[in-house]
Structure 1
Amino acid sequence: MLCDLPDSTSVALSTGRDKWLYEKEKYNSDVKLLKELRINGYDDYKNYLRMDANTFDDPLHRLEPYLKRKNAVMRDSIPLRFLATGRNYEDLKFNTGISPQALGYIIPETCRVIYEVLKGEFLKFPSTTEEWKQIANGFEQKWQISNCVGAMDGKHIRIWAPPRTGAQYYNYKHSYSIVLMAVVNSNYEFIFVDAGKNGRISDGGVLQYTTFYQYLVEEKLHLPDRYDCRENMNFVFISDEAFALHKHILKPFPQRNLNYEKRIYNYRLSKGRNVVENVFGLITARFRVLHTTINMKPLHIQYVVLAICTLHNYLIQRKNQYIGPITFDSENKQTHQCMKNAEWRQNDVQLCPLQISNRNGQVLDAKENRLEYMKYFTGNGKVTWQDEMLNAGKS
């Protein structure tokens, strides 16, 4: 994104070896390059910014009132590719003509503004029964999961150990991290994100510290009543083994000693969960700062991650080259085999998953709810191809 040098940070420019930074107009190539590409290099412009000019201009105009400074005009602003490349401040100063000290202010502040300004339209959490039903219809039509109002997962974002925090951010993988918790819809969009919980909370228990979970257990999400469903089952969020069962959360059965019904249930659940797996894979591929160990204050890293999630939704909705024919895993329309051929799977770097949880939550309601869905998937909710796929070893 673009941002101007703030008045308070311009004094950080050194008069010693970095004296050339005062003459950034003379040395800076990014501004001239971007202007040239915009006029004469349409395809290269899209490749450089990961979006076309119209897609780039829209959020820019929304953010301009919050980023523009009195002593500068927007044409002098510097396009920062920090999120896309993950290059550190010392490296970026040579392309931007801005000191590392100033970049340390500009980048987190720009990320905060991106999130605050765009979240109302592009990261909107459902607040009505009808909105939840629309999400459920999407999962039903695309992934044959009835009453599903979201697929959720969490990942560790690697960070440098913050000063004077001890083992607070030290996770089960023996590195330092914050946790990104997310719920996505069937269109590969985030509908809820929480970033910033320390990595020491290394299993699905991190969910219990989110506002989403508080609203869930207090019945304040305005989920559709179970009697709105023809099978009278709870509307649910689907997850993996990292999370505890809940009457509104489904997770797979343990892989040991699976009978036919449990294998079918796990297979059907995995089809729906493929959505959130692809979302995390895509943001890791597109925003390569997630490949690095981020060296910022935890609050600043939080805004970096939230900005990434917001921009992801914006780009998904704009349907530009952010997504393409092999962005996500595909499904064979005849056999319904899920082919894990998304381009992001070719990346060597993936975000670290949460640790598997042994917590059972509200045991009685939760287990009964999972059994209801198991019976449904092998009964009234059975699809014609599931036996063939299971027998073929594709579950």
Structure 2
Amino acid sequence: MDVALIQHQYDLINLALHQIQDNRRRRRRRRREVWVRPWIGSRRQFGLYDQLLVELRNEDQRSFKNFMRMPPEMFNELLARAGPRITKQHTWYREPMEPGLKLALTLRHLASGSKYSTMKYGWRVPHNTQPLVVREVCQAIIDEYMTEVMSCPTTPEGWHAISDKFLQKWNFPHTCGALDGKHISCKFPPKSGSQYFNYKGFDSDVLMALVDAEYKFIWADLGGTGSASDAQIYNDSEIKECAEDGTTGFPAPDPLPNDYQNVPYFFIGDDAFALRDSITPPLSRSS
């Protein structure tokens, strides 16, 4: 083969490689058309947080409660406690989002279930920023309130207090909590097959929760796959194990009102659960 031809082909290849590298450098150096879109930059003038919520707070607090699912006083208390956890430091680079805006956006998303892509115009917050904000705020609320609002009793006195409320409010004696599962829609992980596909026809995680007579959470377990039944999740849970080995601190069995035979304390659930000493489902129609 002619040496000159080989050299020519070699030069063409080098030239093509240099052109590719130059194009990559130009793409890296190319400036954005805009750093912040104008309609996002006018958030303070036209955004829901700085305009609508201020108006509702001052003129129609009932509508504020309907929009935020809580009165202004509760919103203020939540902001005062969780706000420091979601406050970012001011820098010369850009102004951080206000903690009140983060909290209001998160509460509205949780209350309405609206998609980030539809919320971005009203709140004037980019759709790819919103999931970061929602996660940050939810974690801040958990960290601030977890030990205060969701404390599972460990002594007979604590369970007695819950049982007394069930008897007074619902006429259910010896009841230490109501147990049920809730399917939460999710995107199934790769290669998980039908593991997350539930009987309702969508993919989900399952929240198993125990509440007291006033619907307040006592205990919760999140992470059950949608294909699992409530009974399966309960059988694999920590609270079922503790209830059966006695480490929950349940009171000793004693008689029901106007009776003399000792009866254990228990949880109540729907007919998805099997009858056990620690849990009582409703009687079937055939009973």
Task: Please name the residue that 1:77 is paired with.
Answer: 101
Is it true that 1:214 corresponds to 2:214 in the alignment? no
Higher relative contact order (CA 8 A, sep 6+): 1
| Matched pairs, number | 245
Q: Return the match for 1:231 from 245, 249, 261.
A: 261
Residues 172, 202 of structure 1: 8 Å contact kept:
no
Task: Please name the residue that 1:160 is paired with.
Answer: 187
- SS of residue paired to 2:178: strand
Q: Return the match for 2:204 from 138, 159, 177.
A: 177
Q: Return the match for 1:47 from 54, 57, 66.
A: 66
**Cα distance change of structure 1 residues 14 and 84 upon mapping to structure 2, 3 Å threshold:** farther
Residues 205, 222 of structure 2: 8 Å contact kept:
yes
Task: Please name the residue that 1:200 is paired with.
Answer: 227
Residues 206, 223 of structure 2: 8 Å contact kept:
yes
Residues 179, 267 of structure 2: 8 Å contact kept:
yes
Q: Return the match for 1:90 from 117, 123, 127.
A: 117
Q: Distance in 1 between matches of 2:41 and 2:190?
A: 32
Structure 1 segment 220-369 matched on structure 2, within 5 A: 220-227=247-254, 231-256=261-286, 258=287
Deviation at 1:222, TM superposition (A): 0.4
Deviation at 1:173, TM superposition (A): 3.0
RMSD: 2.5
Aligned AA (1:201): A
Aligned AA (2:277): K
**Cα distance change of structure 1 residues 155 and 77 upon mapping to structure 2, 3 Å threshold:** closer
- SS of residue paired to 1:151: strand
Deviation at 1:69, TM superposition (A): 0.7
Residues 83, 99 of structure 2: 8 Å contact kept:
no
Q: Distance in 2 between matches of 1:143 and 1:41?
A: 35
Q: Distance in 1 between matches of 2:217 and 2:162?
A: 12
Q: Distance in 1 between matches of 2:150 and 2:87?
A: 24
**Cα distance change of structure 1 residues 73 and 157 upon mapping to structure 2, 3 Å threshold:** closer
- SS of residue paired to 2:196: coil
Residues 86, 99 of structure 2: 8 Å contact kept:
no
Aligned AA (2:178): A
Q: Distance in 2 between matches of 1:188 and 1:27?
A: 38
Residues 156, 249 of structure 2: 8 Å contact kept:
yes
Aligned AA (2:165): G
Deviation at 1:108, TM superposition (A): 1.8
Deviation at 1:19, TM superposition (A): 5.3
Deviation at 1:149, TM superposition (A): 1.0
- SS of residue paired to 1:98: coil
Alpha-carbon displacement from aligned partner over 1:112-131 (angstroms, at most 9, x marks no partner): 22122112111221122111
Task: Please name the residue that 1:108 is paired with.
Answer: 135
Q: Distance in 1 between matches of 2:61 and 2:33?
A: 37
Q: Structure 1 unaligned segments of length 5 or more: list them.
A: 1-12, 259-395
**Cα distance change of structure 1 residues 227 and 120 upon mapping to structure 2, 3 Å threshold:** same
Alpha-carbon displacement from aligned partner over 1:177-213 (angstroms, at most 9, x marks no partner): 1112111212222212222211121341111232222
| TM-score in terms of structure 1 length | 0.57
Question: After the TM superposition, which parts of structure 1 deviate over 6 Å for at least 4 consecutive aligned residues?
Answer: none
Q: Distance in 2 between matches of 1:88 and 1:163?
A: 23
Residues 181, 209 of structure 2: 8 Å contact kept:
yes
Task: Please name the residue that 2:39 is paired with.
Answer: 20
**Cα distance change of structure 1 residues 212 and 41 upon mapping to structure 2, 3 Å threshold:** same
| TM-score in terms of structure 2 length | 0.76
Q: Return the match for 1:59 from 61, 68, 78.
A: 78
**Cα distance change of structure 1 residues 42 and 126 upon mapping to structure 2, 3 Å threshold:** same
- SS of residue paired to 2:220: strand
**Cα distance change of structure 1 residues 28 and 199 upon mapping to structure 2, 3 Å threshold:** same
Q: Structure 2 unaligned segments of length 5 or more: list them.
A: 1-31, 91-95
**Cα distance change of structure 1 residues 92 and 130 upon mapping to structure 2, 3 Å threshold:** same
Query: Considering only CA atoms, is the larger Rg found in Structure 1 or Structure 2?
Result: 2
- SS of residue paired to 2:208: strand
Percent of paired sites with the same residue = 30
Aligned AA (2:77): D
Aligned AA (1:166): G
Task: Please name the residue that 2:29 is paired with.
Answer: none
